Chain A
Amino acid sequence: MSTINLAVNGQSVSGEVEPRTLLVEFLREQLRLTGTHVGCDTSQCGACVVMVDGKSVKSCTMLAVMADGCDVTTIEGLADGADLHPMQQAFMDNHGLQCGFCTPGMVMSGLDIVNRHGNDLDAATVRRELNGNICRCTGYQNIVKAIRAGAKAMGD
């Protein structure tokens, strides 16, 4: 077992993990932060996307020990109490989810797109940048709408 120390959603945490423990397993099973989902085992679906040191990462494709010393943000770290993050609010307002399974990853990837491309996003950019996130309800129209609206709201 290895001891890891990291920040998760602004709080210092430490844990005992096996080397083979994935970051997503550590988040879900030890920290009980079950908002981060696992939708595939091929690193393709993006339901597990979290921010590690400010960059989007598929937490099913990173070992927990690799995140030792890092700053991790999950979907649980976005809202301010009862106030949703503007990107979350935009998903709600635009009906950017159907079953909701892919939503945590979509929201995190949406934030990553804003970080790299700014607040004024065209649909083509959002679609291209979302190619690592799969929605099996195929609700992409409203997901793209939500991310564009969320990006704009973050700039206001």
Chain B
Amino acid sequence: MEKEFTTASRIEIERDQILTALRSGTVPRSGIDKIRVGRTEEIRELLKDSDRISGGGASIRFLMGEFGSGKSFLLQLAREVAFGKKLIVAKGDLTDSRSLRTTTGSESSIYQVLMDSLSTKQRPDGGALGPILNDYFDACAEEATNEHVNPLVLIEQRVSPLKDFTGGHDYVKILMTYWQGYDSGDEAIKDAALEWLRGSIKTIRDARAQLGVRSIVNDASYFDVLKLHARLFRLAGYGGLLVQIDELTTVARLVNRESRAKNYDRILSFVNDINQGLVSGLGLQLAGTLETLTDPRRGLYSYPALQSRLAENTFAVNGRNDLSGPVIRLKPLTPDEILVLLLRIRGVFDTGRTGESVVPEEAVTGFLLTESRRVGFLSHVTVRDLIIRFVGFLSIAERYPQDSWQDILVKAPTSGDDASPATNDTRRLGEMQDGDGFTRVEF
């Protein structure tokens, strides 16, 4: 049963979702277009990527920027863009126990997380693999009925071409098994097939026993399976598959040199396969800090083969940006862009308000000024922190309309993380400006 939302309440719900996300330092799931600032060049490139993928090509991108520079935000944006091009999106974070390549038995690979997160525009919360298959098979069945053909035959015809690719033989067998279970109502066999596809079958013995195949989706084979998924999704009417992997830094931080090398090797195979046109309908986006790229001992660039393939255009400095290579370096937002961002957030906050804004525009500038006098502003404060505090500021202003915004700024408590002095004291010190009484000499 679908509840009916009025336009007004839907808008309010979105407003709350956005603010709740911002308050906790995460990127809102929906409506991020309302707070997007800048990044036009990056979006353009990502759009081109999505076009390429949905046209049957493939792409790989490395999105690298400082901590808090909006990588996650950009990934979220990329996701929206991908949905717009009818791509299916999978996302996962690398962690200390989850890497691109398992070298000890105890790690799990990123594959399962990616599978759990599969989303479409209509199903943005993950777990979409089953429904995608169901929808596809339903459509095939309907078509078969219209053409007076056995659905099994039609489906087999459709997915057979996948056998030509590495691992395709067993993959197709699993798909057919899934269909059989789906069609006959045998939940057990259908679920088993789904488990296989999601990488949850851990031993070949189980695979053989339950599904009659001699392979599983494991560390060695998951990339091939992702390629197969991409092709399958295209068959199912989508543009393809976009895989987003965040926290690439985890790899660079691996202490064991061999593990690191193996992970970089895996990335190299991603890059090679995609660049050599062996892949169709698959996009990869890997995000991490700048250091992950450039650290001379452990970064991506320390691995010679990767360095040459990822080589950035050395002429693209001083503001000129070359986005044609696989690496996109995210520049931090300029102060102007930050101001616009805060104004946009204020705009979201004001949704549904009649009359004046919760605080005037000078308050936003005043907020930034106060923040910029905070100790460690340049080196330590991230946009994320700024947004959290700004939303807090607006909330207080909304709750105590009788207090002036200046008073609220002065009394604002500091956030817990750094032990810097109360804002009002820093402000007082900031007013006692030092700077006069100096002479410039040269010798």
The answer to whether A binds B is: no
